[in-house]
Structure 1
Amino acid sequence: MKKIITPILLAAALVACNNTTNNKTETSEKPKTETEATPEEAKESFQEINSDEALIATALMAAPAESREGCTVIGYNMAGEFVTLKEGSNEFICLADDPKKEGFSAACYHKSLEPFMARGRELKIEGKNHNEIFDIREEEVKSGKLKMGDPGSTLHIYYGAKAMYNTETNLVDGAQYRYVVYIPWATSESTGLPESPVEPNHPWIMNPGTHRAHIMITPLKGEDK
């Protein structure tokens, strides 16, 4: 009798063991939720920057996060007029993306740089090219006619190839940051900075010895978040 019962008990134990293993496998699987976005849905969250509100929202992304609420925003509106899109209360001015140009480029800078920036926009409207604008502002800064801004004034640039943004986060599709710190007349010798980056994300000095001498910093994509 024992010889008959023992195999039966062994078979029952094996069945129970198998059921336990199956239950563990099933419960260890990640539950599917209806809220998970598919790659297609993620792409659909990006929309064209096609309103003044969108221009303001994306321009503010160029500013430090803690300062965005108080920034002034200027630039071309959707009607093609250069206007103040948003009045501000702090030390930052944001320049919105130009909707007539390919890609995306917004900037944010210290308000003491506005005379220098405004002069550049004025000369560009007059039809002056990059080299002419550089030479004219160089002479005007040397003569004292044009102010370069406070030493160390910083320009934050937020740019990318696509003028598409996430309506929930205001992040621009594929955009990244670059930083410019103005130090007029500085040189490699006076700062110890190289005149070209040692690595893609390392600081270096551009336009050394001129009114537009500045430290260039371009973080690797993703490192500035």
Structure 2
Amino acid sequence: MQTPDLKTRFTIAAALLVAIGCAQAAGAKTPSDAQMIASAMHAAPARVAKDATIVAAGADGKMRTLRQGKNAFTCMPDNPTTPGPDPMCMDQNGLAWANALMAHEHPPAGKLGVMYMLAGGTDASNTDPYAQKPASGNHWIKTGPHLMIVGADAAFYAGYPNAADPDTGVPYVMWAGTPYEHLMVPVK
């Protein structure tokens, strides 16, 4: 099993460092490794999570492996600065897609990926991948537990709803028409 490359680890670490720094500034305690592992394992089905690599950003901003895995999945714990659960778990192609999103780059072509957020996710804009909070016209939605299919060609999404304000209880295309469009599949 390959672990994420240095660039990917750095990008994830930078995003998580900001979250941890905000939580610390607000007086929140940094979760223990055991708490972060437990949080990350809620992201995916138990049979996936039990053998996944678990990573988290340290207080120094460096990505660290909390637990080395034995499969192709990498899981990250909840973001302590958001109101809802955010743990996620992704395969290597999903990790490459997420890295591209965070770096504002086009995702790698021809790499279909799977991402789990079985604990749900923080609410987000359905039209703007970089929106930070609800605003007029950015179509803020609530997402419950879901699976994401990322990195597919546009033809894959044909036939799925892609409205700005979708019914989040059925599969739909999030961020339609952007390089980061992906299929959201609710699981509850």
Q: Of 103, 116, 135, which residue of structure 2 is paired with 1:156?
A: 116
Aligned position for 1:18: none
**Which of 1 and 2 has higher RCO (CA within 8 Å, sep 6+)?**
2
Tell me if structure 1 keeps the 8 A contact 2:109–2:151: no
Could you list the runs of 5+ residues in structure 1 that have no partner in the other structure? 1-47, 124-132, 142-146, 162-174
- The normalised TM-score by structure 1 is 0.50
Answer with 1 or 2: which has the greater Rg: 1
- Percent identity between the aligned chains? 23
Deviation at 1:109, TM superposition (A): 0.8
Could you list the runs of 5+ residues in structure 2 that have no partner in the other structure? 1-28, 123-142
Q: What pairs with 1:27-176 in structure 2 (closer than 5 Å)?
A: 50-77=31-58, 81-99=62-80, 101-103=81-83, 104-121=85-102, 123=103, 133=104, 137-138=105-106, 141=107, 147=108, 150-151=111-112, 153-157=113-117, 158-159=119-120, 176=144
Matched, 1:195 2:155: no
Deviation at 1:120, TM superposition (A): 4.1
Deviation at 1:187, TM superposition (A): 5.2
Tell me if structure 1 keeps the 8 A contact 2:75–2:90: yes
Which stretches of structure 1, 4 residues or more, deviate above 6 A after TM superposition? Answer: none
1:102 aligned partner, one-letter code: T
Tell me if structure 2 keeps the 8 A contact 1:204–1:216: yes
Which has the larger share of helix?
1
- The normalised TM-score by structure 2 is 0.59
Q: Tell me, what secondary structure is at the counterpart of 2:179?
A: coil
Q: Tell me, what secondary structure is at the counterpart of 2:42?
A: helix
Aligned position for 1:206: 174
Deviation at 1:215, TM superposition (A): 0.9
Deviation at 1:185, TM superposition (A): 3.8
Q: CA RMSD in A?
A: 3.1
